[in-house]
Amino acid sequence: MDGVSYARTPRIKIRELKDDYVKFELRDTDPSIANALRRVMIAEVPTIAIDLVEIEVNSTVLNDEFIAHRVGLIPLTSERAMSMRFSRDCDACDGDGQCEFCSVEFHLRVKCMTDQTLDVTSKDLYSSDHTVVPVDFTDPTGLDSSENRGIIIVKLRRGQELRLRAIARKGIGKDHAKWSPAATVTFMYEPEIHINEDLMETLTFEEKKEWVESSPTRVFELDPVTQQVVVVDPEAYTYDDEVIKKAEAMGKPGLVDVIARQDSFIFTVESTGAIKASQLVLNAIEILKQKLDAVRLSEDTVEADDQFGELGAHMRGG
């Protein structure tokens, strides 16, 4: 029908929030938008990672390429990544990728002078920009001392030395996994579980108990006093259909009905530490909006071509 708008207004509700973890609900939208948001978080949100390594001295047991690869995978704090330029688009250095607008320089100089094995870690990388440094995984409680040393790059024995210069640049996970800010991004359809109470009452207490225990996760619970089966945690349901199969095996098809809501999703996002998980979600939404604006502009361009023909294409330089 002409003039009818099919626009929807998605809503987000935060359930749990930490620096490196966020769990939230996304409602009033469809699976295509939910999956687009997931993919953007994994592959489109930019971060900063070491992209060029120049080895000056390497007398360690690892070859140059191995060390360069390990250094490149160290996550760097990337709060300013959104405002940085991609090196290929930087006009300040003609795309060379070695200026303050599109890159950050790191240096590492370590030599073992004792008989004790020396660990070279991410904390030995010194940055030219104090806002872009290796992510600190130190346990705030101080209980786990193994994490206080940083990410191990290589181990040195007496007389061994490692000196290198590295250039970090802005990039996205689509180009290389080292630029992905997400450790894990998943979503599940919010389940609606309905128990047929009339059928359930035809089961004995032992049959109810057997049916409840057929679920691999604790979705249902049997009250020993009232002998009623209740849903205690619908989100623990993993869509394995075990309780449905068990009901059919007991001759009670339709005992439970599980519906995956097509407009409500539960997201779990874990960050690598390059940016906070909350910022990862916000950046992904902003990038997704930019992509949708580009699609809208493209449609407008097609409509203009239909209306003005070759003149519209000529005005755009086509």
Same domain, yes or no: 151 and 231: no
- Top pLDDT among 314 and 262 is at 262
Does residue 11 surpass a pLDDT of 60?
Answer: yes
Residues 159, 203, single domain; the answer is: no
My answer on whether 59 and 109 are in the same domain is yes
Whether 191 maps to a domain, the answer reads: no
Inter-residue contact 257 to 194 (CB < 8 Å): yes
Please report whether residue 176 resides in a domain. Answer: yes
Q: Do residue 230 and residue 140 come from a single domain? A: no
* Residue 3, in any domain of the structure: no
Note whether 239 and 131 are same-domain residues: no
Residues 143 and 214 grouped into a single domain: no
Where residue 296 falls among pLDDT bands split at 50, 70, 90? Answer: confident
- Are 72 and 155 found together in one domain? yes
The reply to whether 117 and 66 lie within a common domain is: yes
pLDDT in tens, 239-282: 999 999 999 999 999 999 999 999 999 999 999 999 999 999 99
Which tens digit of pLDDT belongs to each residue from 16-35?
A: 999 999 999 999 999 999 99
Q: Are 45 and 289 in contact (CB under 8 A)?
A: no
The reply to whether 129 falls in a domain is: yes
pLDDT digits (tens, 9 = 90+) for 134-162: 998 876 665 555 546 789 999 999 999 99
Residue 169, domain CATH: 2.170.120.12
By residue range, what is the domain housing residue 18? 11-44+264-315
**Is the same domain home to 114 and 219?**
no
- Residue 190 maps to a domain: no
φ and ψ at residue 264, rounded to 5 degrees: -145, 125
Residues 168, 280, single domain; the answer is no
Structural domain ending residue among the three candidates 131, 151, 180: 180
Q: Is the pLDDT of residue 294 over 70?
A: yes
Closest to 16 in 3D by CA, of 8, 25, 5, 7: 25
Tell me the β-bridge partners of 162: 58, 110
Domain total for the chain?
3
Same domain, 64 and 172: yes
Please report whether residue 188 resides in a domain. no
pTM check: above 0.75:
yes
Task: Indicate the pLDDT class of residue 94, thresholds 50, 70 and 90.
Answer: confident
pLDDT digits (tens, 9 = 90+) for 200-239: 999 999 999 999 999 999 999 999 888 899 999 999 999 9
Query: What percent of the chain lies above the pLDDT cut of 70?
Result: 87
Predicted local distance difference test score (pLDDT) of residue 79 = 93
**CATH number of the domain within which 32 lies:** 3.30.1360.10
- What is the per-residue pLDDT across 178-194, written as a single tens digit (0 to 9) for each? 999 999 999 999 999 99
Please check whether residue 26 lies inside any domain of the structure.
yes
Q: Assign residue 231 the CATH number of its domain.
A: 3.30.70
pLDDT on residue 317: 46
With respect to residue 83, please indicate whether it lies within any of the assigned structural domains: yes
Please give the DSSP secondary-structure letter assigned to residue 4.
Answer: -
Residue 162 token pair: 């490692």
DSSP string, 201-264: TTS-HHHHHHHHHTSSSS-EEE-TTT--EEES-GGG--S--HHHHHHHHTT-TTSEEEEEEEEE
Question: Could you give phi then psi for residue 111, rounded to 5 degrees?
Answer: -140, 135
Q: Are residues 62 and 123 in the same domain?
A: yes
Q: How crowded is the C-beta side of 141, counted as CA atoms within 13 Å?
A: 2
Q: Which of 97-111, 274-288, 289-303 has the lowest mean pLDDT?
A: 289-303
